[in-house]
Every structure is written in C-alpha cells, then in structure tokens.
C-alpha cells in the first residue's frame, strides 16, 4: 500500500456519511495546493487541486479517461475566485493506477520528470561518447529539500542503424509499453495523454523511426549533502535563473544500485 492509499483509507474511516469532501493536503511545498480526498457519502478516492477560476480551461477541454471522472466545484465565485479541480476514481479496480497518476510529471510542466509519494526522479540522457556530463535547466531541479528523496537517473545511449541488435526507435519503445498495458484501458489513456503533452503522436511514427538507440549504461544517483548541484538558496542575490552542467565523475560517490532504487520507489526507505 502506498502512502497516498493509506491516506485515502484513513479519510474513509473518518467518513460522516454526509455530502462533501474529507481532505488532507499533500506535498505542502507544492506551489499548487494538492489534497488527497474522499467523497463523504461514498468514500470514493479523489485528488483535489485548489486553482484560480481563471486558470481553468473550458469544461469541454477537461481531460477524461475510463475509470476516472474530472469535475469542478466552486469555492469562491467570480473571476477572482477559486475552484476545486477534482479527479475522482469511479472504477475501484483502477485504484493502484490512480495513485500513480501524479507520477509522470515532466510532460505537463512538472519540476521533475517523475514524482510520487515524496520520491522524485530526474531523467537525463546523452549520446555523447564517452558520456561526461548532464545538463540542469533550473536551479530548483536538483534541490533535494523539496522532496523526501531525489534521484538522478542517467542514460548513456548509442545511436545505431535499423537492424542493429538491441536498437529501439521511439515508436517501438512506445509500442512495447502499450502492449504491456493491454486490458488496462485507463492506463493506456494516461500514457497517451502524457505522450501527447510531450509532443509524441502515433501519426508521425515514420519520423520517429529514423533514429534508433541502444542503451549503453544506466546510472542512478541519490541527491544529498555533497552532491554537485546548485539550489535556489545558493544563488547570489539578483540571479533569477541559471543553467549548468554536472560531471558524471563527481556524481559517482552518490550512485545507488538497482535494489536501492526499487526500495526508494516502493516507499520503504528511511531518510
């Protein structure tokens, strides 16, 4: 059971049988208030976002997926008001996936590529040979104080030709993931929406086939005290933003193995 599921269960036990939401805020440092919630009279799990009325698209533009429904509830009316944007589970069989929906954040403007239950993963890749550095595009990107655990997962890739053993195109990789989601329509809908936000569309498959890659190495590093990085508090007054590069050699003392990565992602590690 994930930390989010545990919160849902606790809120459900507190249910009064009345209408409305029972809520608990998640990730207090998040600039957008996010709450775990259950519907008071049914116990249905939900995620609530506290947003400005003017920031919400027309109702016709709200996302939809099998097993979930998206709705809005007025907190304070008017152009300067606020709304609850509510993502509510309608199919109990999809609860595990529902808990992971805030996981892949990168395509929709998240600070990190992947985040769930206090664990954030920043994914980096290069075709440089040898791989020496990776880029950081934001001062807050490697600020580990914003989450419980922050990881950098670095992929060194070799670009090859069609027919080379082990090579994959983007189209093939997406196809393999979709095949693994057969029978789980909600998961396929989530994947399709995230891919679209990232700029991928199946209609352009021929263009994606032109470049094929093989994974050479994958290294995972845990960002903690001593890791080579800048944080917003490190920047001199007057510096509004920065972009910089980190050498892989300096990250090696912070490497973790596959077992350590799995432990963190399962939420069983202690800080």
pLDDT, one tens digit per residue, over 101-127 is 475 555 455 677 777 767 888 989 888
Last residue of a domain, one of 56, 75, 100: 100
SS3 17: coil
For residue 155, being part of any structural domain is answered with yes
Cα dihedral sign for 121, 124, 130, 133?
negative
253 and 129 share a domain? Answer: yes
In a domain, 152, yes or no: yes
Residues of the chain with pLDDT under 50: 60, 101, 107, 268-271
Residue 182 lies in a domain: no
- Domain boundary (58, 73, 100) is at 100
Q: Are residues 128 and 238 in the same domain?
A: yes
Task: Decide if 186 is inside a domain.
Answer: no
pLDDT at residue 213 in the model = 84
pLDDT given for residue 181 in this prediction? 75
Q: Is there a single domain that holds both residue 90 and residue 139?
A: no
Residues 246, 134 share a domain: yes
Residue with tokens 């845990």, as numbered in its chain: 222
- Does residue 238 come out as left (phi exceeding 0), alpha (psi in the -120 to 50 range) or beta? left
Domain encompassing residue 17: 3-100
Is residue 207 assigned to a domain? Answer: no
Q: State whether 83 and 36 are in the same domain.
A: yes
Same domain, yes or no: 91 and 115: no
Cα atoms in the Cβ-side hemisphere of radius 13 Å centred on 97 = 19
Q: How many helices (H) and strands (E) does the chain have?
A: 7, 13
User: Do 240 and 148 share a structural domain?
Assistant: yes
51 contacts 71 by C-beta, under 8 angstroms: no
**Phi and psi (nearest 5°) for 37?**
-150, 160
Identify whether residues 37 and 85 lie together within a single domain.
Answer: yes
pTM: 0.58
Q: Would 258 be classed as within a structural domain?
A: yes
What pLDDT score was predicted for residue 267?
A: 61
In a domain, 187, yes or no: no
Q: Are residues 128 and 77 in the same domain?
A: no
Residues 78 and 130 placed together within one structural domain of the fold: no
Given 72, 100, 128, the domain boundary residue is: 100
If you write DSSP's letter for every residue of 37-97 in order, what string do you get? EEETTT--EEEEEEEEGGGSPPGGGS--BTTEEEEEEEEE-STT-EEEEEEEE--GGGHHH
Shared-domain flag, residues 81 and 139:
no
146 Cβ contact list (under 8 Å, min separation 6): 29, 111, 120, 140
- C-alpha distances (whole Å) from 174 to each of 49, 182, 192, 209 are 30, 13, 10, 12
Q: What total of structural domains would you count in the chain?
A: 2
* Residue 179 within a domain: no
The SS3 of residue 117 is coil
Phi, psi of 67 (to 5 degrees): 95, -10
Verify that 88 and 124 share a domain, yes or no.
no
């Amino acid at each position: 059971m994930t930390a989010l599921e545990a919160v849902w269960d606790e809120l459900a036990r507190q249910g009064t049988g009345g209408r409305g939401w029972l809520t608990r805020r998640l990730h207090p440092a998040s600039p957008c208030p996010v709450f775990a919630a259950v519907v008071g009279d049914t116990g249905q799990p939900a995620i609530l976002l506290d947003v400005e009325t003017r920031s919400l698209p027309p109702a016709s533009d709200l996302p939809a997926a099998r097993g979930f429904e998206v709705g809005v509830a007025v907190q304070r009316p008017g152009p300067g008001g606020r709304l609850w944007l509510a993502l509510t589970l309608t199919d109990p069989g999809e609860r595990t996936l529902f808990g992971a929906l805030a996981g892949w954040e990168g395509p929709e403007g998240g600070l990190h590529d992947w985040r769930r239950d206090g664990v954030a993963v920043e994914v980096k890749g290069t075709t440089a040979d040898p791989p020496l550095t990776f880029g950081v595009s934001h001062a807050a990107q490697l600020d580990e104080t914003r989450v419980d655990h922050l990881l950098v997962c670095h992929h060194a890739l070799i670009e090859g030709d069609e027919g080379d053993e082990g090579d994959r195109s983007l189209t093939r990789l997406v196809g393999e993931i979709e095949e693994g989601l057969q029978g789980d329509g909600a998961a396929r809908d989530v994947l399709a929406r995230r891919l679209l936000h990232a700029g991928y569309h199946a209609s352009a498959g021929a263009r994606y086939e032109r470049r094929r890659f093989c994974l050479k190495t994958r290294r995972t590093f845990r960002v903690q005290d001593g890791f080579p990085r800048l944080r917003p508090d490190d920047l001199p007054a007057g510096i509004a933003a920065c972009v910089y590069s980190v050498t892989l050699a300096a990250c090696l003392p912070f490497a973790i193995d596959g077992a350590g990565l799995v432990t963190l992602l399962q939420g069983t590690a202690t800080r």
